[in-house]
Amino acid sequence: MSSGSQFVVAAYAVILFVLVMYMVVVGMRSARIARDAELLARLAASPSDPDGVAADAQATAEAAEK
Partner 1 sequence: MTETSSGRRLAVIGTATAALTAVAVFGVFFVAPEDADQGIIQKIFYFHVSIAIASLVAFGVGCVAGIRYLRSREQRHDDVSVIAVGLGLLFSVLVLLTGSIWAKASWGTWWVWGDPRLVTFLIVILLYAAYFVLRSSVEGERQRRYSAIFAIAAFASVPLSFYSVRVAQSFVHPVVFTQGGANMPSSMVVWYVVSQVAAIGLFLTMLQLELIQRRAERRLRALKLQLERALA
Q: Which residues in this chain contact partner 1 in the complex, by CB under 8 A?
A: 2-5, 7-8, 10-12, 14-15, 18, 22, 26, 29-30, 32-33, 36-37, 39-40, 43-44, 47
Please answer whether residues 54 and 46 qualify as being in contact, where contact means their C-beta atoms are separated by less than 8 angstroms.
Answer: yes
Q: Which residues of 6-39 are buried (b: 16+ CB within 10 A; e: fewer)?
A: eeeeeeeeeeeeeeeeeeeeeeeeeeeeeeeeee
Q: How far is the CB of 66 from partner 1 (least distance, A)?
A: 32
- What SS3 state is found at 49? coil
Q: How far is the CB of 62 from partner 1 (least distance, A)?
A: 26
State which residue, 12 or 59, has the beta carbon closest to partner 1: 12
Q: How far is the CB of 61 from partner 1 (least distance, A)?
A: 26
